[in-house]
Amino acid sequence: MSEIDQIIADSLDAARDAAVEAAGDFGVGDYLGSKVEAGARQATHLFDCPHPGYYGWHWAVTMTRASRARYATVNEVVLLPSDESLLAPVWVPWAERLMPGDVTPGTLLPTPDNDPRLEPGYGGGELAADSDPAEWAQTRAVVSELGLGRERVLSPIGREEAAERWLDSDAGPGSPAAKQAPGQCVTCGYFVRLGGSLGRLFGACANEYSPYDARVVSIDHGCGGHSDLVADERVARLPEPVFDTISIDHSLFD
């Protein structure tokens, strides 16, 4: 390993001044030594970075000296990590970072062409050009009534993923509300079953007083708003009061 150029070695103060100027509020800490770079008359001075958010990072100030020059100049100043540095996590594309509920009002979520949850739907468009206008109008009405005419529909994978997600939610059979309910949703008058294959397991709650109103619930879910509750059961039974026998406020009973 070649030795550091003596003029560059003596340029420690100039290197620190350059690091201080670049660091700003980050600050410059203790001197950590130097290392010789490839090429003649070029070396890097290293300084610790004391900023708590950059643990293990250091300022690297590369100094160089032209041939026959009597002083060294600053080549570059950079903040570099070490093996023990606190690093930012690996960048993940936005589409992979998306979480349930991230689509808020005004947000647009493009659907990828290869989304496994979807498959091509039947629009009947290939029949429109050769059909009589009146017949095509009837066909289009039937297609719309059946919920068809969409470019994409749920694939079997999409239905399975939705079913698993809904069953595992608080509107599924394993939630505390379902375990304490007097009856299952499938026997409730407020239960509106979904159409299609998902209707075998799910429906929507139409009880405005239930916390599950307007939500998809499983047929074996339940809550305290079951339609079959009789009047006596609708009254909440409160526990007997417990009194402090040392100090009773008798005015409460007047």
Residue 122 lies in a domain: yes
221 — pLDDT class (breaks 50, 70, 90): very high
CB atoms within 10 A of CB 242: 6
Number of structural domains in the chain: 3
Domain boundary among 91, 122, 154: 154
State phi, psi for 191 to the nearest 5 degrees: -85, 125
Residue 144 lies in a domain: yes
pLDDT for 129 equals 47
pLDDT for 174 equals 95
Same domain as 47, residue 68: yes
168 — pLDDT class (breaks 50, 70, 90): very high
pLDDT digits (tens, 9 = 90+) for 9-67: 889 999 999 999 999 999 999 999 998 887 668 999 999 999 988 989 999 999 998 88
Same domain as 186, residue 133: no
Same domain as 175, residue 149: no
Same domain as 11, residue 54: yes
Give me the amino acid identity at 164.
E
Q: Which domain holds residue 118?
A: 114-154
In the sheet that 73-80 helps form, which strands lie side by side, from edge to edge?
31-36, 42-48, 58-64, 73-80
Span 82-101, average pLDDT:
83
pTM assigned to the model:
0.52
Residue 68 lies in a domain: yes
